[in-house]
Amino acid sequence: MEKVAVVTGSSSGMGFETSLALARDGFYTFATVRNVKKSDKILQIAKKEKLNLEIIELDVDNEKSISSAIEKILAKKQRIDVLVNNAGWGLFGSVEDVPLKEFRAQFETNFFGIISIIQKVAPVMRKQGSGIIVNISSVAGKIGFPGSPAYISSKFALEGLSESLRYELGQFGVKVIIIEPGVVKTNFFSSMKVAEPKPDSPYKEITQKVIMGVKMMAELGTPPSEVAKVILNAIKEENPRPRYIVGNDAQMFLEAKKAKTDTEFENYLKKELFSS
């Protein structure tokens, strides 16, 4: 039976690579994008390789757009086997510097939009008695650091949502997994937003240091195709693990977090991040 996959944020980076990896593996893939003008490249590749890949407009921030996209997919294929909640972006700036409206906008895409999609897709998977939801979190979903609390807390929230969903949906044969990449070389770092610091902000320096640090790491970041490979392998496992860490940087930080007490880890991170 033909399996159907839906990937959000397929215009670039991990979503782009994951849509292609799934289609190359035989999934009928709905590569969703919020701006269809950005789908030329993926469509060209799909055409050249004769892949079953279709573009559907889906803006994660827009309830109507989500409903319309899922309705179109179900009208065409009547099932969804894989949902990859990938679309997301990063907001930088300290808690005091990020206006609440922007904090909420960060959560709209990285958290509430995902809930809205899951509320529409989970009943379909439940009725099928099968399906897998892949939520793209981050090392930032497990480790807090200064300069990006809005992004970090949106990913922490996604981790909690995913863990809870595993119990709720697991009993109906629907799997939920979390992907935790470290720094990946994508458009994330050119698309990220930085809140204007208040004139008297004492956080300008630390925020700039974090931004420069992640941008430097991005140059040597994991290729997004590596993340796509991990996702593809994970969804094909009989019993996928709750979490998949991708990248040596992610592995290093998350192992350190596991091995140390909270205070030890905080001191370790301060040294790693702030010793210049």
Helix pair angle (13-24, 40-48), 10° resolution: 20
- Residue type for 241, please? R
- Confirm or reject binding of residue 9 to ligand NAP (CB under 6 A): yes
- Residue 216 CB neighbours (<10 A): 12
Shortest spacing between CB 50 and ligand NAP, in angstroms? 24
- Residue 205 CB neighbours (<10 A): 11
- Confirm or reject binding of residue 35 to ligand NAP (CB under 6 A): yes
- Which of 13, 197 has the CB closer to ligand NAP? 13
- Which of 172, 256 has the CB closer to ligand NAP? 256
- Residue type for 75, please? A
- Confirm or reject binding of residue 14 to ligand NAP (CB under 6 A): yes
Size (the chain), residues: 276
- Confirm or reject binding of residue 34 to ligand NAP (CB under 6 A): yes
Structure tokens at 57: 């407009």
- Confirm or reject binding of residue 11 to ligand NAP (CB under 6 A): yes
SS3 8: coil
Distance from C-alpha of 142 to C-alpha of 115, rounded to nearest angstrom: 19
Single out the residue of 27, 107, 156, 188 in contact with ligand NAP (rule: CB under 6 A).
188
Name residue 92's beta-bridge partners: 194
- Confirm or reject binding of residue 114 to ligand NAP (CB under 6 A): no
- Confirm or reject binding of residue 54 to ligand NAP (CB under 6 A): no
Binding mask 190-229 for ligand NAP (x = CB under 6 A): -x-----------------------------x--x-----
Concerning whether 151 is annotated as a catalytic residue, the answer is yes
- Which of 87, 254 has the CB closer to ligand NAP? 87
Shortest spacing between CB 135 and ligand NAP, in angstroms? 9
Q: Do residues 234 and 134 lie in contact, with contact meaning Cβ atoms separated by under 8 Å?
A: yes
Binding mask 254-273 for ligand NAP (x = CB under 6 A): --------------------
Counts for the chain of helices (H) and strands (E), in that order:
11, 9
Single out the residue of 93, 131, 147, 181 in contact with ligand NAP (rule: CB under 6 A).
181
- Confirm or reject binding of residue 248 to ligand NAP (CB under 6 A): no
**Run of H or E including 83:** strand 82-85
Residue 2's nearest CA partner among 30, 31, 26, 21 is: 26
Cα dihedral 219/225/226/231 (nearest 10) = 140
Distance from C-alpha of 228 to C-alpha of 5, rounded to nearest angstrom: 13
Residues 68-87 that bind ligand NAP (CB under 6 A): 86-87
Catalytic sites, residue numbers: 151
Residues forming contacts to ligand NAP in the complex (CB under 6 A) are 8-9, 11-15, 34-35, 38, 59-61, 86-89, 109, 136, 138, 181, 183-184, 186-188, 191, 221, 224
